[in-house]
Amino acid sequence: MRFQIFEHKQLMEQIENSGNQETDFQFIKKKGWLYIYYEKDYFKFHRKSEKILDEHLKWKDIVSYRFESKNQSRSKSSGSKSSTKWEDLSKAFEKWLDSLAK
> What tens digit of pLDDT does each residue of 45-84 get?
999 989 999 999 999 998 889 999 886 654 444 333 345 7
φ/ψ (deg, to 5) at 5: -60, -45
Taking the C-alpha atoms of residue 100 and residue 93, their distance in angstroms, rounded to an integer, is 11
Statement: the pTM of the whole predicted model exceeds 0.85: no
**Is the pLDDT assigned to residue 18 strictly greater than 80?**
yes
pLDDT at 81: 35
φ/ψ (deg, to 5) at 95: -65, -40
Distances (CA, A) of 2 to 26, 74, 83, 84: 16, 21, 20, 18
φ/ψ (deg, to 5) at 26: -120, 140
